[in-house]
Amino acid sequence: MVERPVDPANQNEWEAGPDEDLKVPREYIEDLKFEVIVFARKERGGQDFTFRCKDYSPVEGGAWSFDGVIIDTSKRDPSGDVTLKRLTYHPALSLVNVAFMVVPAPEETK
């Protein structure tokens, strides 16, 4: 497998099988200070989700901007078991007219 160069200015994705280690370059996952819980509208079939980011700030017009975002986009079977480990990196993400809550990201234990 060829390793891609680290480029935090571009979106990226990493995958691994359920019994494999997911290898994500440290530069993408270090310093993720905040965990964001996004509350989806249940009446529209939405589902709450979380992501981690390095920083966030308000944007004119009531939107919020998040920088250095990592989202767990793993696939699960109906019983909830992971069938494909996957993390997606976005250099920036904006939320508009969506309820969310930001909390400090839990410290990773080694």
pLDDT tens digits, 11-44: 999 999 989 999 999 999 999 999 999 998 777 7
What is the distance of C-alpha 106 from the center of its chain? 14
pLDDT tens digits, 38-51: 998 777 777 889 99
pLDDT tens digits, 43-92: 777 788 999 999 999 999 999 999 999 999 999 899 988 999 999 999 99
Provide the pLDDT confidence category of residue 108 given band limits of 50, 70 and 90.
low
Coil, strand or helix: which one is 29?
helix
Coil, strand or helix: which one is 79?
coil
Question: Which contacts (CB < 8 Å, 24+ apart) does range 46-50 have?
Answer: none
State how far the alpha carbon of 89 is from the alpha carbons of 45, 78, 95, 104, in Å: 25, 25, 16, 19
pLDDT of 2: 53
Q: Where are the domains of the chain?
A: 12-104
pLDDT of 3: 62
Q: Provide the token pair at 105.
A: 């990201």
Segment 93-108 mean pLDDT: 92
pLDDT of 4: 64
How many angstroms separate the CA atoms of 12 and 10, rounded?
6
pLDDT of 42: 76
Taking a C-beta distance cutoff of 8 angstroms, is the pair 39, 48 a contact? Answer: yes
